[in-house]
Amino acid sequence: MRTIFHLDLDTFFVSVERILDPSLKDKPVIVGGDPKYGRGVVAACSYEARKYGLHSAMPIRTAYRLCPHGVYIHGSHKEYSYFSKAVKNILSLYAPVIEQASIDEFYMDFTGCQNVYGSLFAFASYLQKEIWDKFSLPCSIGIGSNKTIAKIGSDCMKPKGITYILPGMEKDFLAPMPVETIPGVGKVTLKDLHSKGIYRICDITNLPQDYFAAAYGKYGIDLYRKACGGGSEYLIPLCGKREQKSISHERTFSDVTSKQFLKEKLFKLTGKVCQEVRDKGWQASTINIKLRYSDFKTLTRSKTIKPTDDDRIVFNAAWDMMMKAHTRRVAVRLIGVGLSKFKEYSEQEELFEFEEVKRKKMLRAITRLRDQYGYEIIQMGTA
């Protein structure tokens, strides 16, 4: 039986901002877009701000309407990276295997370490204190037999909580929880589950697995397995610098038939993907699209092109693939676009490519503005 820790740094961005500016303590702090422009979304918010109904990914305009007296901060991304690495260095002193899931989340495998550390619940408390004493960063820890259970556990008693799900108790632990507790259950799936009378996780396990396999395919089997307390038991340690193989964005709908609607959404997804590629100083030579119908049949297509980071080029190729793949008269539930096979961008101002060079400079100017003021500050047309 594995013993997996999931450590989640509580309201990480806000916690770092409070380290940089102690006067922010106990105030409703919102990290994200600029409310003066009404653009962007909430990247993180303090528990004081959540009392007013704020949450991550909320439009900044809505957040300001609910909490106009809050302290709105654009964010100190270099500082976030610094503190994230510092925490990982501390964890590396104790954990045999670490997988960093995001800038503020870490999985650790402590299987067989009871002889070294004694009670793992007590050791989790020691880790919490170590991180707090050295960096003033609060964290919550979940301990379980797999990654899914450990992650759900770390969410149970925020902030500064520790939850240990004993081996064999996973199913009972999950049973009374709402189905959206399971990682991967989004708004569309949640609505569909509710329409079937499934509200709690025990409502899933009270039905046969075949029911979910028939309704959702492989996703349904995975959903049922997680509801029973299953999950991945092995971590993926990252040696040295992680090589990012792809960047993608996708969007789930409540069954769409309008091609114009799909076109508009694909254009926006393409813009975000290209923005990320430019932020990293890359160009991509492979474009990937995903199309999922309302019956959960999923298609993927890829195309190799000359390396680019241009929204227009990527969108035209992605939309062409999407329309060639969309051959059934069935509503669409999800679309996605991604880029892969990256190379470093190098600007070569060639004499006979003046217009192309001008466009590249324009795209980079737009990228800088979006990085500073939020993605929504500038929108480009499809023409």
Domain borders along the chain are 1-167, 171-227, 246-377
Q: Which CATH architecture has domain 171-227?
A: Orthogonal Bundle (1.10)
| Predicted model pTM | 0.66
- Among candidate residues 286, 298, 302, 184, the one with its CA nearest the CA of residue 245: 286
Q: What is the pLDDT of residue 7?
A: 98
How distant, in Å, are the alpha carbons of 49, 186, 241, 256, 328 from that of 299? 41, 20, 32, 16, 11
Could you list the active site residues?
105
Q: Where are the beta strands (DSSP E) in the chain?
A: 4-9, 29-32, 42-45, 71-73, 97-102, 105-109, 139-144, 162-164, 246-256, 282-293, 298-308, 332-344
Q: Are 228 and 212 in contact (CB under 8 A)?
A: no
209 or 378, which is more confident?
209
Instruction: Decide yes or no: CATH 3.40.50.360 for domain 1-167.
Output: no
**Span 72-77, mean pLDDT?**
87
Question: Percent of the chain at pLDDT above 70?
Answer: 88
| Distance separating alpha carbons of residues 45 and 112, to the nearest angstrom | 37
Question: Percent of the chain at pLDDT above 90?
Answer: 63
Top-tier CATH class for 246-377: alpha beta
31 by DSSP, 3-state: which? strand
Residues 171-197 pLDDT 10s: 999 999 999 999 889 888 899 999 999
240 by DSSP, 3-state: which? coil
| Distance separating alpha carbons of residues 274 and 279, to the nearest angstrom | 9
